[in-house]
Structure 1
Amino acid sequence: MAVRLNWLRAGVLGANDGIVSTAGLVVGVAGATSSRGAIFTAGLAGLVAGAVSMALGEYISVSSQRDSERSQLALERRELVELPDQELDELAAIYRRKGLSTATARLVAEELTEHDALAAHADAELHIDPDGLTNPWHASAASAVAFTLGALLPLAAILLAPAGVRIVATVLIVLIALAVAGTLSARLGHSSIRRAVTRVVAGGAAGLMLTYLIGRLFGTAVS
């Protein structure tokens, strides 16, 4: 369940990044030119670059975490072979600190060690599931897909809306999408929905306004 929630939270954050970054890019370009081709090219380039960046960043991050966890498990496996009595005492001490009596903690440690010593130590001492290490390729793909889905929304909005209202329509659609993303994020994190939505919508609106102004100010000034 915890793994699933982490994936959902990462998906929401990835989609949110895709919405905000791509919306800011296309609105900024639209502030400089009304050319649908230029807006499409900039938006598509931003989508691809953002998805690749998100995927690469997630792959590196998860790979580093996975390598660290594997190293800890390898060390624990070696200590269980070389120092079994000390490791048993260490496991019993962990359960004593959690509130069990000395005798009960010892009994629990012995039974868990007999069943699966590495799993027992990985759970109690390292807080790692040896069979549940995150796959960096899965994390990378999920991040890229989430970003892409989020980025497609503002790109489609600004390309499909009539030229006269494309910026206003895109901003409204993006802010609604951000409000939905903020709501989902708050629900997953069991936090205040109002605060989460206010933060993400206000931040998104400020970012869009800034990129639009940059496009208006510098788009025609630089040839």
Structure 2
Amino acid sequence: MPVYLMNSSLRGCFRYTQTDAGALLMLEPSCAGCPATSMKSQSHTRLIGYLLVLLASFLVAMAAGYTALGRQIDADAYDWMFRLRSPAPWTPESALLEIDETSFLKLGGIGGLRSMLAGALERLAPVSPKVVVVDLTLAEAGRDPADDSRLEAAMSHTGNLVLASEMMPRGEGWQDPIPRFSKWAAAVGHVHAAQEDGVNRQVPLEKVVGRERRWAL
């Protein structure tokens, strides 16, 4: 029975064989049939198998991430981690001026929206806020010219006014405020939000249509 002895410096194996003439020691560079070589080969095969499994798992995870289920799982995980993180203490430096549904309907609903906005700006004027941001798209004339005139007058007394612009449905342009309003604005920002399940988790910092760029409002 042959016995193999590994020799790394010679990059081969010595094959020890007992014959009738005596012991014979031969160098076999290929180490064919050597148990140590066989073990190395098996270990190498297992390593390749593990790497292939990892690669397949990675590709499956990547593909699943583009499905509706994968995106929902990712969104749920993001929401969970966000709830775990408590915000650091801060001093409020801004305020939101909102209107509830009951008051909105009582003041005229959509038809009275510009009158409501004008009234809000008139109330803010004496306070002289550093910046006033209006997130309503005023891309066309209102139903009542008197409301537009009142709103324009209120804007003319509002410093650092920022108005909203919305991208058209097919991305062919911007729905900017009409000139009588935009001329009083210090800036115009986009109000596009990336939503898939009704939850706004991110806002694109900028949106570009053609050669026109709008920063986030």
Does TM, scored on the shorter chain, surpass 0.5? no
TM range (shorter): under 0.3
TM-score (norm 1): 0.22
TM-score (norm 2): 0.23
Larger helix percent? 1
Larger strand percent? 2
Q: Higher Cα Rg: structure 1 or 2?
A: 2
Higher relative CO (Cα under 8 Å, sequence separation at least 6) belongs to 1
